Amino acid sequence: MWRAAWAFGLAVLTCQVAFADEAPYSGRWRPRHHWHYLPPARHVVEVVQPPYSANFIINGIRFKGMTAACFRWTAGDRITLIAGDWHGHCVTAVFYNFRRHSTCQTLCRAAL
């Protein structure tokens, strides 16, 4: 009796590696795609300091407005870049304000 129990125990210990293997192959392979589509970035005027002064901070970069339309812009207005660079590596930049429907020509940090 002990010999049969001993043989069974050894068989179970030996076969544990086989039981730990992955599930059997199902024969059908399906690719899994985990794509996340992000909307385009929305840029806003972050800070106007002092208010109605045409001194803007956009994307953490300081811009100084040069045209009269710039003085009406406020913080939180959604904008897009028409000419120049978002990171301020330019002499002048032109922004379009969606809320006010106006464009503003600014000096970039390279020109300040």
Question: What pLDDT shows up at residue 3?
Answer: 81
- Tell me if 76 sits within 8 A of 37, measured CB to CB: no
Q: What is the DSSP letter of 60?
A: T
Global confidence as pTM: 0.63
Number of H helices, E strands in the chain: 1, 7
**Residue matched to tokens 């210990």:** 13
Higher pLDDT, 86 or 25: 86
- Mean pLDDT within 32-53: 80
Average pLDDT value for residue range 66-95: 92
Query: Could you tell me the two tokens for 3?
Result: 């010999």
